[in-house]
């Protein structure tokens, strides 16, 4: 299983960064490989992604969520197997460190080669940069879900 950990400092308060991250249906605006996300319940989403030219769909379940701290998930079915967590760290009243940790199973030769050369890490780093630019351009979160999902 491949593992990726990347982080970025975002010039918004921790609550703004966290609130935006809970707006899963906005992910296609800053995650390059995400085509569409449909939230099917408080803790369930359906994803359509395009990875290395291959289209895939899968469901994911939020396994833990605590406002202004973390969101963790696992895929629960479909074409991709992965799990992850994003954490939010207050650096100051106006700056937040967003850290993404992913565990995923590369599918097929292209993804396995990509994993060997670090393509996944580069993609996550680029997506975090896109998130930073998105939230800065918005000036505020586009919504929020402040519910708590215990482990």
Q: What is the pLDDT of residue 137?
A: 92
CB atoms within 10 A of CB 135: 23
Instruction: Answer yes or no: CATH 3.30.43.10 is held by domain 2-138.
Output: no
131, 98 in Cβ contact below 8 A?
Answer: yes
* 83-96: pLDDT as tens digits: 999 999 999 999 99
* 47-65: pLDDT as tens digits: 999 877 788 899 999 999 9
CB atoms within 10 A of CB 137: 9
Q: What is the pLDDT of residue 117?
A: 58
97, 91 in Cβ contact below 8 A?
Answer: yes
Give pLDDT < 70 ranges for the chain. 106-120
Q: What is the pLDDT of residue 28?
A: 96
What is the spatial distance between Cα 133 and Cα 113, in angstroms, rounded to a whole number? 29
């Amino acid at each position: 299983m491949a593992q990726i950990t990347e982080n970025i400092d975002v010039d918004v308060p921790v609550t703004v960064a966290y609130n935006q991250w809970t707006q899963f249906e906005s992910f296609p605006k800053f995650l390059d490989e995400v085509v569409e996300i449909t939230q099917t319940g408080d803790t369930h989403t359906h994803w359509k992604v395009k990875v290395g030219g291959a289209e895939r769909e899968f469901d994911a379940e939020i396994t833990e969520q605590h406002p202004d701290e973390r969101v963790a998930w696992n895929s629960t079915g479909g074409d991709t197997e992965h799990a992850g967590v994003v954490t939010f760290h207050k650096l100051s009243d106006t700056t937040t460190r967003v850290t993404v940790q992913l565990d995923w199973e590369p599918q097929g030769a292209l993804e396995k080669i990509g994993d060997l050369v670090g393509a996944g890490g580069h993609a996550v780093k680029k997506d975090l940069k896109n998130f930073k630019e998105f939230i800065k351009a918005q000036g505020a979160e586009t919504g929020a879900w402040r519910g708590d999902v215990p482990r």
